[in-house]
């Protein structure tokens, strides 16, 4: 990495993931390009008479990442987070002594934190009284416990921050980490987001409460039984969401720090925008003007214009209202950019909540490396209002130097980031 490249922004040097497609960032990205669908019958489907869920892929073993004592004292979401974060640290080549205890920040996003443990405690209380509640419940339910466990596992004493901005949480976590790195309060940030953990304790009847709350939080259930048609981003016949779970993490470094240690830069975080829609608890402003503005904010922060963006990995939830607002925003922002290609990953993974934006960034980074952008799964007939090119059917051959990722959450939480190719010429 040369000095000109180092002036671009903040370096992404490590990736880690636990997802419905696979148990590493490579498995996630390879699975997306191979057309894998992580949506499947929910572990509690027999109990509820059916249902689909983007459950973390089979084979996740928390004991591969933490000892029995820590497993017993963590909710599933924190187990996922520790695993994904440790993967990212290893991928960045930092090793067990590569993190400065005071100069490393941890910034983690989650929508629901230890919701599973809350539901389990209520279930146990209703059937056995206070004595039946797991004494570790208090330390499993708090949303900050994923970041806390990461700090404890790595002996870190720098900033430890938890962001909870619904489905925008992972992009807002990146933006928050960027503020700390640019302010000089850390050299490295371990940044990610996590949702779920409901599959970590299968066969428990309190899944009913956990899933009902989750689906209410996500707004609607798809009602579909075919996993390949359960979520249809940007489709004319889209009907709703399948909830999912998982974790995705990055190692983010200042350019100087990455340069000094000879790190391999995977991509650059070049721009970030965040704002409030302030329209409705669960619905965006129908004209998409705030989604439009946040995309423009991220581009301005990156020093680029709409014509410099080669691809967008959209939020694209497959909901009628959510997709309509984003479609209108993309239409206006990218008028005249005929080379733009747009995609979204939720038809493959389900809606993994807070972690969905981070997984989308990984899909974009893989597209820059491989020259192939994942297609939107399931969708065959596009919403007629779309005025941009959507990757359908199979991965699209692309040449990407710069891409943009959107995440829009309940409560009007809008975030967008611009990511640049490692090694491209500095502007």
What was the pLDDT predicted at 121?
Answer: 85
Can you tell me the distance from the alpha carbon of 172 to that of 166, in angstroms, rounded to the nearest whole number?
10
What was the pLDDT predicted at 64?
Answer: 95
Eight-class DSSP state of 211: H
Low pLDDT (below 50) residues in the chain: 1-6, 205, 216-220, 425-427
Burial class (CB in 10 A: 0-12, 13-18, 19+), 416: buried
Can you tell me the distance from the alpha carbon of 107 to that of 249, in angstroms, rounded to the nearest whole number?
10
What was the pLDDT predicted at 125?
Answer: 87
CA 282 vs. chain centroid, Å, equals 19
Can you tell me the distance from the alpha carbon of 235 to that of 23, in angstroms, rounded to the nearest whole number?
29
What was the pLDDT predicted at 96?
Answer: 73
Can you tell me the distance from the alpha carbon of 307 to that of 206, in angstroms, rounded to the nearest whole number?
50
Adjacent-strand bridge partners of 269: 10, 419
Rg (CA), the chain: 20
- The predicted-structure confidence for 329-364, as pLDDT tens digits, reads as follows 999 999 999 999 999 999 999 999 999 999 999 999
What was the pLDDT predicted at 117?
Answer: 86
Can you tell me the distance from the alpha carbon of 401 to that of 353, in angstroms, rounded to the nearest whole number?
27
What was the pLDDT predicted at 50?
Answer: 60
CA distances from residue 377 to 174, 324, 407 in whole angstroms, order as listed: 27, 18, 18
What was the pLDDT predicted at 9?
Answer: 82
Q: Is 278 left (phi over 0), alpha (psi -120 to 50) or beta?
A: left
Considering the chain, what percentage of its residues have pLDDT values greater than 70? 90
Asked if residues 365 and 403 have their Cβ atoms less than 8 Å apart, the reply is no
CA distances from residue 337 to 332, 343, 360 in whole angstroms, order as listed: 10, 15, 21
Of all residues in the chain, what percent are helix, strand and coil, respectively (each to 5)?
40, 20, 40
List the domains of the chain with CATH numbers. Answer: 3-260 (3.40.47.10), 271-421 (3.40.47.10)
What was the pLDDT predicted at 314?
Answer: 98
What was the pLDDT predicted at 216?
Answer: 47
Can you tell me the distance from the alpha carbon of 172 to that of 189, in angstroms, rounded to the nearest whole number?
13
Can you tell me the distance from the alpha carbon of 36 to that of 21, in angstroms, rounded to the nearest whole number?
7
Residues in the chain: 427
What was the pLDDT predicted at 298?
Answer: 98
Can you tell me the distance from the alpha carbon of 85 to that of 190, in angstroms, rounded to the nearest whole number?
7
- The predicted-structure confidence for 160-193, as pLDDT tens digits, reads as follows 999 999 999 999 999 999 999 999 999 999 999 9
């Amino acid at each position: 990495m040369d000095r000109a490249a180092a002036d671009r922004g903040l370096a992404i040097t490590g990736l880690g993931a636990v997802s419905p497609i696979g148990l590493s960032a490579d498995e996630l990205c390879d699975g997306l390009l191979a057309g894998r669908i992580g949506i499947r019958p929910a572990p509690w489907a027999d109990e509820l008479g059916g249902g689909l869920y983007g459950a973390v892929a089979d084979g996740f073993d928390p004991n591969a990442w933490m000892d029995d004592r820590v497993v017993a004292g963590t909710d599933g979401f924190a187990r996922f987070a520790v695993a994904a974060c440790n993967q990212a640290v290893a991928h960045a080549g930092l090793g067990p002594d590569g993190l400065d205890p005071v100069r490393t920040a941890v910034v983690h996003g989650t929508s629901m934190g230890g919701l599973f443990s809350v539901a389990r405690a209520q279930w146990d209380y209703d059937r056995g009284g206070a004595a039946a509640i797991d004494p570790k419940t208090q330390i499993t339910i708090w949303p900050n416990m994923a970041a806390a466990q990461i700090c404890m596992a790595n002996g870190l004493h720098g900033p430890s921050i938890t962001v909870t901005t619904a489905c925008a949480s992972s992009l807002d976590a990146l933006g928050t980490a960027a503020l700390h790195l640019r302010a000089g309060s850390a050299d490295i940030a371990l940044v990610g987001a996590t949702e779920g953990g409901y599959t970590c304790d299968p066969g428990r009847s309190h899944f009913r409460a956990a899933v009902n709350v989750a689906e209410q939080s996500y707004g609607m259930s798809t009602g579909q039984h075919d996993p390949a048609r359960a979520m249809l981003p940007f489709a004319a016949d889209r009907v709703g969401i399948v909830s999912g779970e998982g974790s995705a993490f990055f190692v983010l470094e200042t350019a100087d720090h990455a340069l000094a240690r000879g790190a391999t830069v995977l991509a650059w975080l070049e721009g970030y925008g965040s704002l409030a829609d302030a329209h409705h608890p669960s619905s965006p402003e129908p004209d998409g003007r705030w989604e439009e503005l946040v995309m423009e904010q991220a581009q301005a922060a990156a020093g680029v214009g709409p014509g410099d963006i080669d691809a967008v990995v959209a939020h694209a939830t497959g909901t009628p209202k959510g997709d309509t607002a984003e479609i209108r925003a993309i239409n206006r922002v990218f008028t005249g950019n005929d080379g733009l290609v747009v995609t979204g990953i939720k038809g493959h993974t389900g809606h993994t909540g807070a972690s969905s934006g981070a997984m989308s960034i990984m899909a974009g980074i893989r597209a820059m490396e491989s020259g192939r952008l994942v297609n939107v799964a399931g969708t065959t007939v596009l919403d007629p209002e779309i005025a941009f090119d959507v990757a359908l059917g199979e991965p699209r051959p692309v040449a990407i130097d710069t891409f943009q990722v959107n995440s829009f959450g309940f409560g009007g939480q809008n975030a967008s980031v611009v990511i640049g190719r490692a090694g491209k010429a500095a502007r």
